[in-house]
């Protein structure tokens, strides 16, 4: 039987009764002299990476347009799509935390651009992500649990091309433009922020509408290859990396080492993903910018499970567990800790009988 993951008042009360609402998360001890420099933000570093990201998008889209409709344009659209439909996800995330740039307005500009690329209303999703960090993978509290138990593998496969994701996001955009929220959103979007939700949705619909009209006037999908479609054909990388963040790990715990995964990745994926492969570290210390996460990992790795050495290694460990969850939804990975690490809390004992 599938577990109910809806955010409802009953689920909220149950989580609070279990002490899982805004819990006191485990954090390893770090010398403040080490941690303080890691929390410092840099406009120069973030600006360099942002200019490279946007510059590569301009170059690849420009070549794709110049070679259109020849198949020679396909490799350039493929790169552009990943930078748009996956690179936009990590920029949305990091600038949503306001940690990429030292200057606040720079974070906000990139956040607004990336939110549009990912079709995520910037007001709703900032509130959603705050809840995700406060109640990470707590059933009935976290609105960003991407794979339920038992896992819907067909849904995950379709979202490699953003199909279900974009359909749901466009539906929400239309709802927001009409001046309404989904019931779950009403649980975490503040009343005073709701007019901005509706205004953004209306502006975005106007932009997408103009793009579609231009495509019709040109008799070509080329305008949509630049705006809109990359959210579909470029989504595969952010799905491939994003599902590794929490999938197959524990629900309803208060230690990020049990519900979050760190994976070592190649330089290209780390650039697209903005070092979010260091995901345990990010959840433990959310104010550390993405460019300091490797150093944070080195500082606290003695208290963390060993990271998966590659994307492939992470999936090789994860996929058999997902297969088992199809028949036994409580199957879970309980990562081993290195010798000398701070031990897990007592909650781990309830997981061990289901560990695979």
Task: Kindly list the distances between the CA atom of residue 52 and the CA atoms of 58, 277, 345, in Å, as whole numbers in the listed order.
Answer: 10, 20, 43
> Do the Cβ atoms of 288 and 278 come closer than 8 Å?
no
Q: What is the pLDDT of residue 1?
A: 62
Report the pLDDT averaged over residues 267-284: 98
Higher pLDDT, 1 or 193: 193
Residues 6+ apart with CB under 8 A from 56: 79, 83
pLDDT at 2 over 80: no
User: Helix, strand or coil for residue 308?
Assistant: strand
Report the pLDDT averaged over residues 82-95: 98
- Percentage of residues in the chain with pLDDT exceeding 90? 90
Structure tokens at 126: 């900032």
Structure tokens at 55: 């510059």
Report the pLDDT averaged over residues 128-155: 91
pLDDT at 300 over 80: yes
Interaxial angle between packed helices 74-85 and 43-67, expressed in degrees from 0 to 180 and rounded to the nearest 10:
150
Summary mean pLDDT of the chain: 96
| pLDDT tens digits, one per residue of 33-48 | 999 999 999 999 999 9
pLDDT at 8 over 90: no
pTM above the 0.85 mark?
Answer: yes
pLDDT at 289 over 70: yes
- Pick the closest to residue 241 from 128, 114, 93 (CA basis): 93
Report the pLDDT averaged over residues 241-264: 97
Phi-psi region of 316 (alpha: psi -120 to 50; beta: other; left: phi over 0): alpha
Q: What is the pLDDT of residue 156?
A: 86
Q: Enter the DSSP assignment of 355.
A: B
Residues forming beta bridges with residue 278, ordered by sequence position: 262
Residues 6+ apart with CB under 8 A from 184: 6, 7, 143
Structure tokens at 351: 């997981």
> Do the Cβ atoms of 234 and 228 come closer than 8 Å?
no
Q: What is the pLDDT of residue 118?
A: 98
Residues 6+ apart with CB under 8 A from 65: 73, 222, 226
Phi-psi region of 56 (alpha: psi -120 to 50; beta: other; left: phi over 0): alpha
> Do the Cβ atoms of 254 and 25 come closer than 8 Å?
yes
Q: What is the pLDDT of residue 264?
A: 98
Report the pLDDT averaged over residues 276-302: 98
């Amino acid at each position: 039987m599938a577990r109910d993951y809806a955010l409802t008042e009953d689920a909220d009360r149950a989580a609070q009764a279990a002490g899982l609402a805004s819990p006191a998360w485990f954090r390893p001890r770090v010398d403040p002299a080490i941690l303080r420099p890691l929390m410092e933000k840099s406009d120069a570093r973030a600006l360099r990476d942002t200019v490279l990201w946007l510059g590569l998008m301009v170059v690849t889209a420009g070549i794709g347009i110049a070679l259109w409709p020849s198949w020679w344009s396909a490799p350039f659209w493929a790169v552009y799509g990943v930078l748009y439909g996956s690179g936009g996800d990590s920029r949305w995330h990091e600038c949503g935390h306001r940690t990429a740039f030292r200057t606040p307005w720079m974070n906000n500009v990139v956040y607004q651009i990336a939110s549009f690329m990912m079709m995520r209303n910037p007001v709703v999703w900032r509130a959603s992500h705050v809840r995700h960090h406060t109640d990470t993978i707590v059933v009935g509290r976290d609105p960003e649990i991407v794979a339920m138990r038992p896992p819907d593998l067909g849904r995950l496969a379709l979202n490699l091309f953003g199909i279900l994701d974009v359909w749901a996001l466009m539906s929400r955009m239309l709802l927001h433009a009409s001046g309404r929220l989904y019931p779950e959103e009403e649980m975490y979007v503040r009343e005073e922020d709701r007019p901005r939700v509706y205004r953004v949705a209306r502006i975005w619909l106007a932009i997408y509408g103009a793009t579609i009209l231009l495509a019709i006037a040109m008799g070509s999908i080329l305008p949509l290859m630049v705006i809109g479609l990359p959210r579909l054909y470029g989504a595969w990388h952010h799905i491939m990396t994003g599902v590794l963040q929490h999938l197959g790990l524990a629900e309803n715990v208060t230690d990020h080492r049990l519900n979050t995964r760190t994976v070592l990745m190649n330089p290209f994926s780390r650039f697209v993903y903005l070092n979010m492969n260091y995901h345990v570290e990010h959840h433990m210390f959310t104010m550390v910018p993405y460019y300091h996460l490797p150093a944070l990992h080195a500082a606290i790795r003695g208290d963390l499970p060993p990271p998966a050495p590659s994307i492939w290694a992470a999936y090789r460990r994860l996929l058999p567990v997902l297969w088992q969850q199809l028949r036994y939804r409580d199957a879970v990975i309980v990562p081993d800790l290195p010798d000398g690490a701070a031990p897990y809390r007592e909650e781990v004992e309830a997981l061990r009988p289901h560990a695979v």
